[in-house]
Amino acid sequence: MRSLPSPGIRRRASSPDRHRRRGQSLVEFAIVLPILLLLTLIALDFGRVYLGWINLQSMSRIAANLAANNPTAWQGGGDANVQAKYQNQIRNDAAATNCKLPLSGGVQTAPGPVFADTGGNGATDDIGDSATVSLSCTFNLITPGIKNIVGGSITVSASSVFPVKSGMTATSGGGGAVGSAPNAAFTGNGTLAPSTLSGAAPFTVTFRDTSGGNPTGWSWNFNDGSPNSPLQDPLDHTFTNPGTYIVVLTATNSLGSSTASMGITVTAPSTVDFTYSLSSPNAPSIATFTNNSSPGATAYAWTFGAGEGTSTQQSPTHTYNTAGTYSVTLTVTYPTGPVSVTKSVTLGSALCTVPSFNGVKRNSAQAVYTGASFTGTVSSGPNAPNGNFTILSQSVTANSQYPCNGNITVNNP
């Protein structure tokens, strides 16, 4: 009679069963892998489009602010300089984000602003009227399948409305046209004043004038010891020393002036450095690394050399078992980004004591060695020293220290 297995005892799967299950897992993975890749590409595609939409919103706000500050630039013959500045600003920002604007005459062109007569007096350049800028960008898709469903590209749009802040209005009685002082405004790295900016020294900021009210003069005070700039757009200005600076733009015309300001906070540059000490100058040796980097880091990453491993500790230790030179790299991550430094760690070979061959036979059939040079390997016979010693080119003295893996020539027993 065939006995039954005891209760509670599970039979191990036979080798064919294990191979069959492993093969089944590989087949399932091969089926799922294309789906995972497709989902990853879809996430990348729509992430790019979403980021483009965020940038497009910022572009429309900056453009609408420029238009609201220059409401008469699109009336009658208009102001070609302001219109060109409007187009160039949008084109530059679009190019930086791979945004494709609509083509006009073969050139990417942004639609002009639309002004609304909020006050209902028939004019659209009064204080309180509004300027609207609507922009659209086309982003190409890279995901197969999705392209077939929604097409090879996706168009996203953004719109911003800003109130007209100042303008020229005609009045009757007592004289001709009456105007107003300009309304100072500017951007720093695409951010509208009075927002604040911050960065590590040296920190470079691109300034652009967006003042309204037809200013004829500009004065930029960076409050960092540099001279004022009379340019309308001073563009790049570098703050070299840590500190807080208030940048002030004064815009003027024949009717007066106004100011706008922006705070710039410059932090000290992040420095990365480390020192190390060795328990022995020769391998094997324990290296103790001390991190001397600037405070404020969020992560540390060490590599101890090819094949020697890594660490995320702030000040780690590492054991080197083999002689050689190792490139050790420390990468410290700060809120402003990662900074790295690389240094070399060199270790010599372990040292052994050279034995004396005086009175030792090369082998039991030969006479006692007394100093004549010979080459070969000392045997481990009854009259030989412990171990085998390769006798080659390097000359050393008995009882001296020499790398354990080195080759020696016996010349002074």
Cα 89–90–93 angle (5° rounding)? 85
pLDDT of residue 170: 40
Tell me the two tokens of residue 345: 């760690």
Asked whether the whole model's pTM tops 0.85, one would answer no
The answer to whether residue 371 scores a pLDDT higher than 60 is no
Spatial neighbors of 157 by CB under 8 A, at least 6 apart, are 56, 134, 135, 136, 137
Q: How many C-alpha atoms does 266 have within 13 Å on its Cβ side?
A: 20
pLDDT of residue 212: 86
CA distance 372 to 378: 14
- What is the gyration radius of the CA atoms in the chain, in angstroms? 39
CA distance 293 to 334: 11
Residue 278's closest CA among 268, 288, 269, 270?
A: 288
Q: Which CATH number does 186-267 carry?
A: 2.60.40.10
The three-class DSSP label of residue 188 is strand
Spatial neighbors of 76 by CB under 8 A, at least 6 apart, are none
CA distance 396 to 357: 12
Asked if 186-267 and 274-347 have one fold, the answer is yes
CB 251 within 8 A of CB 313: no
CA distance 293 to 341: 10
pLDDT of residue 406: 61
CA distance 114 to 169: 19
CB 179 within 8 A of CB 215: no
Residue 272's closest CA among 294, 254, 242?
A: 294
Which amino acid is present at 279?
A: S
The answer to whether residue 382 scores a pLDDT higher than 90 is no
CA distance 321 to 347: 9
The answer to whether residue 369 scores a pLDDT higher than 50 is no
The answer to whether residue 197 scores a pLDDT higher than 70 is yes
CA distance 78 to 86: 13
Cβ atoms within 10 Å, residue 39: 11
CA distance 346 to 280: 11
Cβ atoms within 10 Å, residue 71: 25
**Topology of the domain comprising 274-347:** Immunoglobulin-like (2.60.40)
CB 385 within 8 A of CB 360: yes
- Residue 212's Cβ-count burial label (10 Å; 0-12, 13-18, 19+) is buried
Note the pLDDT tens digit of each residue in 285-341: 999 999 999 888 899 999 999 889 999 999 999 999 988 999 999 999 987 788 999
pLDDT band at 174 (very low <50, low <70, confident <90, very high): very low
Highest mean pLDDT among 108-112, 161-165, 360-364: 108-112
Phi, psi for 59 (deg, rounded to 5): -60, -45
pLDDT band at 171 (very low <50, low <70, confident <90, very high): very low
Determine which helix (DSSP H) or strand (DSSP E) holds 228, and give its type and residue range.
none
Domain boundaries, the chain: 32-163, 186-267, 274-347, 350-413
CA distance 136 to 158: 7
How far is the CA of 289 from the CAs of 45, 301, 325, 339, 382, in angstroms? 43, 12, 16, 17, 48
CB 185 within 8 A of CB 210: yes
pLDDT of residue 302: 97
pLDDT band at 88 (very low <50, low <70, confident <90, very high): confident
